[in-house]
Amino acid sequence: MAQRIEDYALVGDTCSAALVGRDGSMDWLCLPRFDSPAVFANLLGTEENGYFRIRPSCEVREVRRRYLEDTLVLETVFETPGGRAAVVDFMPPGAPDRPLHVVRLVRGLAGEVPMEASIVIRFGYGRTVPWVTRREDGVRALAGPDVVHLRTPVPLEGRGLSTQAGFTVREGETVPFVLTWSPSHQPEPAPVDGPKSLEETTRWWRDWVAGATLVAGGYRPHVVRSLITLKALTYSPTGAIVAAPTSSLPEHLGGVRNWDYRFTWVRDATFVLYCLLQSGYRDEAAAWREWLLRAVAGEASKLQILYGLAGERDLYERELSWLRGYEESRPVRVGNAAHTQNQIDVFGELMDVLHVARAHGLATTEHAWDVQRLLLDHLESAWAEPDSGIWEIRGEPRQFTHSNMMAWVAFDRAVKSIERFGLEGPVDQWRATRNRIHRSVCERGFDAGRNTFVQSYGSDALDASLLLMPIVGFLPADDPRVVGTVEAIRRELLVDGFVMRYQTTGGVDGLPGSEGAFLPCSFWLADALARMGRRDEAREMFERLLGVTNDVGLLSEEYDPRSGRQLGNFPQAFSHVALVNTARAIAAGSGPATERGN
């Protein structure tokens, strides 16, 4: 049975990632890419769908976890009556064309501890039982294009359709388990030295963290953990960043709002790029920008809101009926049908991210500007079209206020690119369009009687995406309309101190059921309060959000303040990006709007 979402920790190698529970069970692992079919799918099914557990076989009095300082190396310490043992989990980063390894080291810390290891390998999201053969140094599991080797000095025993082992670890001993994936048609990969690989992996992460420009204000541990998490969610072969390494973790326990997030969303681009650049990571930012340009190349009207890790466009959504879902949350989905939606805001986010890149000195290319001009040509006539909005609502398209605000951002950044960087384009025409969109949003998206902007034209609903107005520079934070919107959102969308995206009651978004508070929106509220000069309130909100992180500093997409549960896919890149950017806004008195729009 899967554990609570917040009871998991992440290990990864910038190609794929695994989730490890507090009980020592690895319940989710996709190989060789984030978006590959899972080898361990217990997270969304049962143990029959795959897992890899290492834990004491005796009474456990206490479990403590931590990441080794400034790394993605996880240490889980088990305290037992006879002694203390640790399981150290990591995935060594390396070249994208080499085999992928998951290393699990069992260390004796005090006394002696009886341990048990149990592994069930299932390819194809828990559906395919492999052909398992015993080897001198472990076992090999083979099915179609995939082969997994498990190497360990511990004797392994086949039991049913699983592999089991029992052993004792004593103080000072280290017992390695190394899981290696490779294509089945290629030669068997060479063994990995677990302890040596631990030293190399620890050094790799610490060298990476040492290159960061960190925010002050006492938030370093949370900021560093978020940056490491973002790096871990980077697909290093292409520079893409996945929204999360999981699929179908529910936004409401037992509900149907279960989506696959193992793709890259264009709308996250501005926040991610700003976060990386402000933190000193120019190489990652440059790779991310180049991925964007490759992914969006082609006909401007066919711009998608999300793409695959190499820029794939066909992300066909389907349901996996053999998986029962996390805590019975069905259906389990892979792929994402939202890639077919029309969402106007992505034009603004793409223009914004390229403007931010230029402002930080990343070299301007003629190709990038050509792409931008084509996008603007299309947006001139498309900006007023109804769309599905930032939240990918699966109901009737509308003219969303946020979408039109981001269309304004697109033309605003185009004008500023000409003014600041000397690029060529019809600047007078773009200024006129920018002004026309601004008037439209202020006249049709604003409810003067309630002194607040609304979710869509003609609606009376609120939407937390409107907190981005001062962040993207649409209106200053002290504008009475912005202040009114912030206060309205606090009155109507704040639940026990956390911000909902919008009211989901009544199926207004085309789906039944409800969802938790959306953590990025909660960070945006703290950011907006800081920009309004209400720094004490901003800090209080921000520190409440920090209190939601789990014991190793990770955040999912949403949070249910009433049950105290994290919800949605985990860990969520957007939440960690918002944490870093808001920490900088509060501690350093700046944020994304400092450069965005200038």
Distances (CA, A) of 284 to 225, 287, 291, 580: 17, 5, 10, 16
From the candidate CATH numbers 3.40.50.620, 1.10.1740.10, 1.50.10.10, 1.10.3720.10, the one assigned to the domain spanning 216-594? 1.50.10.10
Looking at residue 325, its pLDDT comes to: 97
Backbone torsions φ then ψ of 178, nearest 5 degrees: -125, 120
- The count of other CB atoms within 10 Å of the CB of residue 98 is 13
Looking at residue 104, its pLDDT comes to: 98
Q: What is the residue whose two structure tokens read 């926040």?
A: 271
Backbone torsions φ then ψ of 54, nearest 5 degrees: -130, 125
Instruction: Say which amino acid occupies 47.
Output: E
Domain span(s) for CATH 2.70.98.40 in the chain: 5-202
Looking at residue 300, its pLDDT comes to: 78
CA distance 187 to 204: 27
Backbone torsions φ then ψ of 81, nearest 5 degrees: -60, -35
Predicted structure pTM score: 0.95
Looking at residue 468, its pLDDT comes to: 96
Q: How far apart are the first and last CA of the chain?
A: 51
CA distance 72 to 212: 16
Q: Judge whether 357 and 414 are in contact, CB under 8 Å.
A: no
Looking at residue 539, its pLDDT comes to: 95
Q: Judge whether 304 and 266 are in contact, CB under 8 Å.
A: yes
Average confidence (pLDDT) per 10 residues, the chain, 598 residues: 95 97 98 96 98 98 98 98 98 80 98 98 96 94 95 95 97 98 90 94 97 81 96 94 96 93 88 87 89 85 90 95 96 91 89 89 81 93 91 86 97 96 95 98 97 95 96 95 97 94 64 77 95 93 96 97 95 96 78 51
Question: Mapping DSSP to helix (H, G, I), strand (E, B) and coil, where does residue 88 land?
Answer: strand
The residue among 270, 305, 265 whose CA lies nearest residue 285 is 270
The residue among 480, 499, 482, 479 whose CA lies nearest residue 491 is 499
Q: Judge whether 61 and 77 are in contact, CB under 8 Å.
A: no
Q: What's 5-202's CATH class?
A: mainly beta
Domain span(s) for CATH 1.50.10.10 in the chain: 216-594
- The count of other CB atoms within 10 Å of the CB of residue 281 is 22
Looking at residue 96, its pLDDT comes to: 63
Q: Any idea of the CA torsion for 489, 493, 497, 500, to the nearest 10 degrees?
A: -120
The residue among 68, 74, 225, 202 whose CA lies nearest residue 554 is 225
CA distance 598 to 595: 5
- The count of other CB atoms within 10 Å of the CB of residue 318 is 12
Q: Judge whether 469 and 488 are in contact, CB under 8 Å.
A: no
